[in-house]
Structure 1
């Protein structure tokens, strides 16, 4: 163990996005210290804990990124939220079934230390053991409890992502030394249910040891808390109760749904008593919760990650989101084009679905929408400020001199949509330094907890309570209470479940949650193994669909911009008293000058050819990769995947 410790200790510690700026800046190299010195000194033990946060969250730079330690956009890119990128799992030209095709997240045997899931678990186990070892006898009981609580929480988070990717995995709760001959450490895969039970046990331990809110927020804000552990238990048990892991999901009396509901209600009670809740009382507040200030308690932020606004890497990491979403004429990265599926998704102002029968016309997508729509998307003429210009706007349209002529874009905003994503952008961001944003990412919001509860109520057949909890989410942003906040009168549990999943798509849009909802409800296809969830919920499979967009294009061929500065002299402010009149102005400009035009080429392509999403049934959970199976022959391969020798897998992840 000591040899391994010294190998790890030579890593130079840099700031992590998972805790407060001061906490991050405290991380330093400490290879000159031995184990006895580290774990007998509170400051040095804090450095060790800080390194754990670094290993977990160092790559977390924008809210679309998912998976502990990895943090990339791959899973978000497999949803309707983002078009144009075709990861292997939705690529119809690929068939992934062999161990060599499986997700490599698990890690592999290596002669050197690497930042993979079981390395992070080993660090947690090491910290837990040291806090119960005589070496730490000089540390205060309070400090040791807080250290242990963070280790339990971090270990639970890592096992949760392993289970969401592979199903059941080996559970290792002690520090083990590498050996090719010691059969005692040849740990087999535990069932998914056993893994969920261990995750819950760790979360309960963390909740018992950590504070609900840390003292001295300038030093500690962003560290894991009891509140995060309690709320995470709700997310974990909701996942365990969902069709992916629960063959009995369609039974209203399922023990898994009951456990998930109880966990959600317990979390609501305990967190609200500690001061957590929905932030603000209107849509403007809703849009501002992510940049209320670093190291300042935000009642909605159950798990929050903070960033530095410094261009110096040693001072901390920056949030990349601000630069990504800002368009070209803001000196941003070009913007994130909104798919037509997302523009057509959000409710109307009444809360009703945007259907033709309810008066929705997709050409004028900006009319009469849910207040969250105007804070999630930016469209032509809408106010989107920057530092020094709170009323700045931009436009998204194009023109060309002839059918085959060169296309020009206003402001060089070459987007695939007449709207782009703006959610969680700071209207006071400095346009000279979008790359150095310090806007927080709230990974777990109180709103999600309420929606977890709503989903459990729906699945257990309590439709009234499910609708009430959806209503809490909608009331906060100003949707009228009429007709159950626009949800209507639901008569079956399937309608209620679908209504909750719909609300999650809206409320949690572009926060890295959509893929996990699609995965756990198995919504890409409609199979017996999924319990035919797509059909029962009244949905259409995602397979066979394409992410689509369109342009606002000048009606007539022209060499010059079809709009004058006077035409563009529109400031659309959703908080203004004449907001509707402002939208009417934009509509008049569109009707006079533009036409809705299909994209020049398909947004979703593989090798230049248009494709539709094709997510195979065995992709919901990956098999173990060949790099793992080749050196751990006792591990069973997952059903739907071939093992290292080519034989069909036998591990059932629904047990």
Structure 2
């Protein structure tokens, strides 16, 4: 380890430890180590290095990149699911991703920016290896070393998991290698990569046990990873390995191992203080509040903490951008527009899927009539904490009318009115027209249905975690939010176990978990679960995937679930050049058919908006040209989720019938002839290839089967992620 480098300097990119590269490139970067080794003889110095690992590796609330998984934004992952419309690169029928060209280049989750150490994927792995070596070589007590090393092993596993889930086998680098041309590490098999991740997680769990298995961390250490965090991620990794994407024959042994391990480790996870967050209040208020708990939260198994410090580039300012992202423009945000597909797919109040969706055909449809004109009537309690419609309260602590005079005043009594009007009848009937104007000064800055999930709602949380600033200054204004980001919730721990139990044939245990999840939000009795889930494995697995889709909506989990289960085509399409072992033989050769799930390929997502009824005609382009306001229509009181909801939504529905009309709004694209286009996720996208930049910097690494090899003039890739 070299000396004389400041502690704040970030280490050399780990990609150099596995890549062929030029001597000239190396010559420019002689100082590639990061700290004086003497700091590892002091706990404060070691802890500072571990904190640096956290800063590199914790997820954050921005769009998905190589650095962080999806967190529910309308990013490349979110727009590849039912949650948002708009063709992402993965599902765009007009674009085929390329591994040899920078045009339509396959996303790079393997290397990222070669010339920027902090932007290199293996850079943070090298940083972790450097910390591990430094702590092991220092003079701290073994107990102190164990506490610090356990955290490092967890994050090394976390980094590798986030590559392996995309590529299968990757180079496993466990030492702080010097960036030399000869330092080349080959791609390991996927099985070896998975086993390495599991090994690191076992080390982390063991080393952290004495510190964290009596309720977890407390005080200033709250938010650090624990034995339970490592075991929860281990469950996710085992589930990935058992899933169809890597388990084409449906080897029951993988399911059994996942089930056995998760069941054995459940008590240890609970011993770290984790469990379902309960809370209290009407209409799943506890479900809403779990996302706004800055104090110790049993649901937060793997969490990123934030603060609401305001300022211009302050070093200690770390704000969660989610609240600003979902609030409507007239309350100081930008708004996220939910796809009509997911709105229509959410369960009814009896827990069953609405009739007419045709998505999960092995699940019973609801006996409750679903009126698409008033989609907020009689829905699952989580529905009201996931979406917001015209006529619903969405209180906040502040007053954005002080910044924009025509905005609604008094955030404490804010009611969303985002219905629209058009300036011409031709536009009013045209799904492609964007010439609509939103009520209450939203005008062109409106969404049809707002995503409400994870909001810091003043009606639910009377002590909001954001500092509202009326004037938009640099940073996350006006919502400098300290709401935590929950990457692994205890609900996921349970649903991961339910899925493994189902796959291993323990259907009763899987159903028991589904009941726990639903009881938390107010269901009783059979919780709306059909009787055959304990006897029909396919129906049970379908119910689990549906529950995951609802429970984790807009939390960034759906795209991974769709890839794991190959829900775009059921695994029916063949990858060019793939061996016979890639053919899906388990699940009857098609996961979608087996599950009764309508393949996502060939579908399209639309949006919805609510426009003024025909009798009000058209309006103008200014806030005071609302046709209903001009004729003096009285709005009902906003639906208040603090109170019983049945009568409130019925009254609002009556008002809708008289005054508003649901309008189809273009979601996914049309071609130049205005003909609808449909989702097309290619079969080779399930397991990604190295993009041209990553391949160029790593000439010794073979390309994935199904992708052209940039280093071999575009010849077919040879690395098999499914070979053991």
Q: Distance in 1 between matches of 2:671 and 2:480?
A: 33
The 5 Å alignment of 1:515-594 reads: 515-528=559-572, 529-530=583-584, 531-556=589-614, 557-559=617-619, 560-564=625-629, 567-577=634-644, 579-594=645-660
Q: Distance in 2 between matches of 1:391 and 1:287?
A: 18
Decide whether the 8 Å contact of 1:347 with 1:369 is kept in 2. Answer: yes
2:506 maps to which of 443, 446, 462: 462
Change (3 A) 1:350 1:111: closer
Q: Offset of 1:387 from its aligned partner?
A: 1.3
Where do residues 98-109 of structure 1 align in structure 2 (5 Å cutoff)? 98-100=99-101, 101-107=105-111
User: Judging changes above 3 Å, is the alpha-carbon distance between structure 1 residues 555 and 628 closer, same or farther for their aligned structure 2 residues?
Assistant: closer
For residue 701 of structure 2, give the secondary structure of its aligned residue in structure 1: coil
> Structure 1 stretch 143-152 or stretch 496-505: which is displaced more?
143-152
Displacement of 1:435 after TM fit?
Answer: 3.5
| Preserved CA contact (<8 Å) 2:341 2:606 | yes
Q: Secondary structure at the match of 1:457?
A: helix
Report the counterpart of residue 473 of structure 2 in structure 1.
none
TM-score for the superposition, normalised by structure 2: 0.80
Alignment-derived partner of residue 620 in structure 1: 686
How far did 1:157 drift?
A: 0.3
Aligned: 1:398 with 2:465? no
- How far apart in 1 are the matches of 2:626 and 2:672? 34
Counterpart secondary structure, 1:380: coil
Distance of aligned partners of 1:418 and 1:481 in 2 relative to their CA distance in 1, 3 Å threshold: farther
1:451 to 495, 504, 513: 495
Separation in 1, partners of 2:445, 2:379 = 22
1:125 aligns with 2:129: yes
Matches within 5 A, 1:401-420: 401-404=423-426, 407-413=436-442, 414=444, 418-420=448-450
Partner of 2:716: 648
Structure 1 pair 140/526, CA: closer, same or farther in 2 (3 Å)? same
1:41 alignment partner in structure 2: 42
Residue of structure 2 equivalent to 1:440: 484
Distance 2:65 2:672 in 1: 26
Q: 1:363 Cα shift?
A: 1.5
Q: Whole-Å Cα distance in 2 between the matches of residues 569 and 235 of structure 1? A: 46
Q: What are the within-5 Å matches in structure 2 for residues 99-498 of structure 1?
A: 99-100=100-101, 101-107=105-111, 110=114, 113-133=117-137, 136-137=138-139, 139-180=140-181, 182=182, 185-210=183-208, 211-212=211-212, 217-249=218-250, 251=251, 254-280=252-278, 283-293=284-294, 296-312=295-311, 313-333=314-334, 335-355=335-355, 358=367, 359-387=369-397, 389-404=411-426, 407-413=436-442, 414=444, 418-428=448-458, 429=464, 431-432=468-469, 433-482=477-526, 484-490=527-533, 491-498=535-542
| Residues 477/400 of structure 1: CA separation in 2 closer, same or farther (3 Å cut) | same
Conserved? CA contact 1:243–1:520, under 8 Å: yes
Write the distance in 2 (CA, Å) between the matches of 1:541 and 1:410.
37
1:508 to partner: Cα distance: 0.6
1:20: which partner in 2? none
CA–CA distance in structure 2, aligned partners of residues 508 and 545 of structure 1: 22
Residue in 1 aligned with 2:81? 79
Shift, 1:589, TM fit: 1.1
| Mapped partners of 2:704, 2:438: distance in 1 | 50
Q: 1:370 to 1:242 in 2, by over 3 A?
A: same
Deviation, structure 1 residue 510: 0.5
User: 418-427 or 504-513, which moves further after superposition?
Assistant: 418-427
Q: Is the 8 A contact 1:458 1:497 kept in 2?
A: yes
Instruction: Give the whole-Å Cα distance in 1 for the aligned partners of 2:688 and 2:156.
Output: 21
For 2:82 and 2:516, the matched residues in 1 are separated by 26
**CA distance, structure 2, for counterparts of residue 534 and residue 598 of structure 1:** 28
8 Å CA contact retained: 1:69, 1:117: no
**Structure-2 separation of matches of 1:588 and 1:612:** 35
User: For the Cα contact (< 8 Å) 2:66–2:108, is it kept in 1?
Assistant: no
Structure 1's 346 and 202: CA in aligned 2 closer, same or farther, altered over 3 A?
same
Q: How far apart in 2 are the matches of 1:90 and 1:46? A: 43
Distance in 2 separating the partners of 1:112 and 1:338: 36
Q: Aligned equivalents of 2:300 and 2:503: distance in 1?
A: 26
Alpha-carbon distance in 1 for matches of 2:112, 2:437: 49
Residues in 1 aligned to 2:692 and 2:450: alpha-carbon distance in whole angstroms? 40
* Alpha-carbon distance, 1:603 to partner: 4.2
Aligned residue pair count: 618
- 1:453: how far off? 1.0
Q: CA RMSD in A?
A: 2.7
CA distance in 2, matches of 1:608, 1:615: 22
Q: CA deviation at 1:108?
A: 6.6
For the Cα contact (< 8 Å) 1:350–1:480, is it kept in 2? Answer: no
Q: Report the Cα offset of residue 69 of structure 1.
A: 4.9
Distance 2:501 2:661 in 1: 45
Identify if the C-alpha distance between structure 1 residues 415 and 581 changes in structure 2 by more than 3 Å, giving closer, same or farther.
farther
The answer as to whether partners of 1:330 and 1:431 remain within 8 angstroms in 2 is: no
Q: Structure 1 residues 94, 401: CA separation in 2 closer, same or farther (over 3 Å shift)?
A: closer
Cα distance in 2 for residues equivalent to 1:144 and 1:463: 42
Deviates more, 1:523-532 or 1:465-474: 523-532
**Does the 8 Å contact 2:351/2:528 carry over to 1?**
yes
Task: After TM superposition, give the deviation of residue 242 of structure 1 in Å.
Answer: 0.2
Cα deviation, 1:400-440, whole Å, max 9, x if unaligned, reads 35414764311243577642111111123554344311111
CA contact (8 A) 2:217 2:223 kept: no
Provide the rounded CA distance (Å) in 1 between the counterparts of 2:672 and 2:158. Answer: 37
Cα 1:606–1:299 change in 2 (3 A) is farther
More displaced stretch, 121-130 vs 498-507: 121-130
